[in-house]
Amino acid sequence: MPETEGSPGVPGVRAMLELLDADLDSVGISSQLRTRATNEVPGNLYQEGFRELIRRAPNGIDRANDLIKRAVLQALVDPPFRASDERTDLHCRSILRSNKRWYLRPSVLALGRLLASHPDRFPLVLTTNFDPLIEIATQRAGGTTHRTVLHADGYLGSHGAAHSATHVVYLHGYWFGSDTMHSAVQLTQNRPQLQSSLIEILRSYTLLQLGYGGWDDIVMGALQRASEDLGSTPDILWASNQLSEKDPARKIAERLYAASARQRVQFYAGIDLHEVIPQLERAMSKERKRIDVIVLSQHERVLGQVLGKLNLAQNHFSFLPATTLRTKRVAEHPDFKHKILNTRSCITLTAQDSDPDCFLTVVIVDQPIESDHYSNLFGDFSKNRHVAIITTQGASQIGIPLTDYVRYFIIRYVLGQTILINTHEETRDCMFDKKNHKPDIRLSLRSARLCDDCNLKLRKLSSPNSETAVGACRQLLGHMVLEHN
Ligand SMILES: [Zn+2]
């Protein structure tokens, strides 16, 4: 839902009723759903509106699917969507790829960061929404997602086994390329495979329910069955935002009575998702050292994948794109608009805006960079200011794939921030070679070695705390080398 009226976002139920009224009206059906919503349950009116549209309007199901497309596309910004814009499946697919066009409100961004940083703890997302915002938020935070769309019966397939991606399952269809399910007839159709998949999931995972009204649909049916199956041991955390008479929680509690009586369902009332998700994200990110990455490069997509790989290779650091606001502030600073960047001034002003919880900020740019003493640098770093800057230029100069190059330097600077070792002039096939001669990087990148001297220093300087950090850096390097050879 949009944050405030008129801001971009997928319309909420009441705004959907308005769209439904207009569509029904255009085919001569008078519905007044929006007006009736003051006295009746909006969710029921929503189902009724779609049922009418599908049954009575010519090509009703296509109209319903198109209405959903138009609704989802209202989450676009820059340029915003207009009703006259093309929206064939092909077109929707290309819009989906332009990740930056979608407006994501802070709670959705926080959810994306949560999923991207902890694919092992949140391997599966079941959604009754049609929009792609959860996936987009996860990808924007450097995570990987894969998608299953169900608009009929089907198994959910595998998830979580590799711990490398978030599996997002659209239980009621997707905003394009599939039918969307709205009416009671569609929502309650018999889907035995899906039902048994869901029950199986409830056996292995804790279900955290957020923002789902508990409709009379397949999800509720599966939950009820799992609840009544005394052999199963579901663990359900049910968050609801209201406590009023109209609150569905009471109805849900009745349906899940069996599990609830066994203390296998916990209800949490008065939960505002837009507050709770960011809080949860902050709490969980404290478990890891946070590394903010400010991407001022045209290779945003590739760099997002790099962050995903770094997160998956270890669990000590959390590599996250910096907030849009911080990125914007840095990007718009005049010093960052020069053709050749002076790293010292860029590092200083990046540090000014840093949050004290942030272990290191990495800025990635495409321009050449220079310090007061050197020109054509591959990167620069200030341990005191907790900021590193890397340019993508170097990768093409020495013919190394951008992903490997950037990953190498991020690890190099994270290691630099973790332990106190200075670079040495001499080339020893070591991470801490000064690499005045750029092709030396290629050697170091393949071996990911530290020289004997640096290894010795490392052992001397290690505290239990830095040991785990160094361990994580070694894991990162190990992964990179494995992929490389
Ligand atoms: Zn060394």
> Both tokens of residue 479?
């992964």
pLDDT tens across 36-92, in order? Answer: 988 888 888 998 999 999 999 898 889 999 999 999 999 998 778 887 888 899 999
Answer whether CATH 3.40.50.720 is correct for domain 288-484: no
Tell me the range of 173-187, 261-275, 310-324, 377-391 where mean pLDDT is highest: 377-391
Mode of pairing for the β-strands spanning 265-268 and 235-239: parallel
pLDDT tens across 200-248, in order? Answer: 888 888 889 887 766 667 778 878 887 887 777 788 888 877 655 455 5
Residues with CB under 5 A from ligand 1 (ion): 430, 432, 451, 454
Report residue 482 CA to chain centroid gap. Answer: 26
Distance 335 CA to ligand 1 centre (A): 33
Distance 427 CA to ligand 1 centre (A): 8
Which residues lie below 8 Å from residue 154, measured CB to CB, with a gap of 6+?
148, 191, 193, 194
Neighbours of 350 (CB within 10 A): 27
Mode of pairing for the β-strands spanning 289-296 and 124-127: unpaired
pLDDT of residue 163: 54
* Closest of 306, 320, 372, 279 to residue 138, by C-alpha: 320
Distance 406 CA to ligand 1 centre (A): 20
Distance CA 434, CA 416 (A): 13
Distance 462 CA to ligand 1 centre (A): 16
pLDDT tens across 88-122, in order? Answer: 999 999 999 887 889 998 899 999 988 988 888 89
pLDDT tens across 404-423, in order? Answer: 889 989 998 998 888 777 78
Q: What is the DSSP string of 326-368?
A: HHHHHHTSGGGGSSSEEHHHHHHHHHHT--TTEEEEEEEESS-
List the single range of 48-52, 67-71, 461-465, 480-484 with lowest mean pLDDT. 461-465
Q: Domain limits of the chain?
A: 13-95, 104-278, 288-484
Distance CA 8, CA 15 (A): 12
Distance 432 CA to ligand 1 centre (A): 5
Distance 455 CA to ligand 1 centre (A): 7
pLDDT of residue 150: 82
Q: What is the mean pLDDT of residues 442-471?
A: 77
Question: What's the whole-number average pLDDT of the chain?
Answer: 84
pLDDT of residue 330: 93
Distance CA 138, CA 115 (A): 6
Distance 451 CA to ligand 1 centre (A): 4
Q: What is the mean pLDDT of residues 452-471?
A: 76
* Closest of 195, 204, 96 to residue 160, by C-alpha: 204
> Both tokens of residue 383?
């341990």
Backbone φ and ψ for 259, nearest 5 degrees, come out as -70, -40
> Both tokens of residue 233?
């041991």
Q: What angle do CA 238, 218, 197 make, to 5 degrees?
A: 90
Distance 344 CA to ligand 1 centre (A): 24
pLDDT of residue 314: 83
